[in-house]
Amino acid sequence: MRELISAAQLAKRIGEMGKEISRDYKGREPIFVGVLNGSFIFMADLLREVTIDCEVDFIKLSSYEGNASSGTIHLRKDISSDVAGRNVIIVEDIVDSGLTINFLKSRIEDSMPSSVAVVSLLFKREVAKLNFDLDYVGFEIPADYVVGYGLDMDQKKRNLKGIFSIEDELEKNCN
Ligand code: IMP
């Protein structure tokens, strides 16, 4: 595995993102909605860098089997908050094809919030097809499959402290 982003780089960038969000949302008491499972570590670290009053909720969606998207989004667990009239910030671990976030953003918008923003730790700009611009991005990365810091490969590797590309291993397994 090749390390793309170290634990120290993650901490530094997430600190900056927390400051930026705190400044933009001062007095607006946002609800952060994390997308499970991948965003749980990012959410925990980001929230501790946010210095304004806020709430947190989670939604669970899935589309991936192994390291490939099935193309269909399944809702496994919905949010429990009423977001009508609230400022929602969706927290994603990674935007890859954009399928999940396009689906989720329009689903949240159907609940009549005051605003919806999206923060994603990682963004594969080369391959993403989005109906909107992301509001906060941690790092733009190449289209390689990555693991660590909450991101998995078949449910494993979430516990790694940095972000690692596993393209070399995937190639080895195919040859
Ligand atoms: P998208 O719908 O293709 O944008 O993918 C969104 C979801 O797929 C993310 O929230 C992740 O759970 C998963 N995913 C996409 N790319 C990767 C990756 O490189 N590593 C781990 N999970 C990924």
Please say whether the structural domain 7-144 has been given the CATH code 3.40.50.150.
no
Q: Pick the atom of ligand 1 nearest to 144's CA.
A: 19
Expressed in angstroms and rounded, the spacing between residue 95 Cα and the centre of ligand 1 is 6
* Residue with CA at minimum distance from ligand 1 atom 5: 96
List, for residues 96-155, the tens digit of each pLDDT value: 999 999 999 999 999 999 999 999 999 999 999 998 999 999 999 999 999 999 999 999
| Helix (H), strand (E), coil (C) string for 108-169 | HHCCCCCEEEEEEEEECCCCCCCCCCCCEEEEECCCCCEEECCECECCECCCCCCEEECHHH
List, for residues 34-69, the tens digit of each pLDDT value: 999 999 999 999 999 999 999 999 999 987 665 666
* Residue with CA at minimum distance from ligand 1 atom 20: 146
User: What pLDDT, on a 0 to 100 scale, did the predictor assign at position 63?
Assistant: 79
Extents of the domains making up the chain = 7-144
- Indicate the pLDDT class of residue 72, thresholds 50, 70 and 90: confident
Q: What is the pTM of this model?
A: 0.93
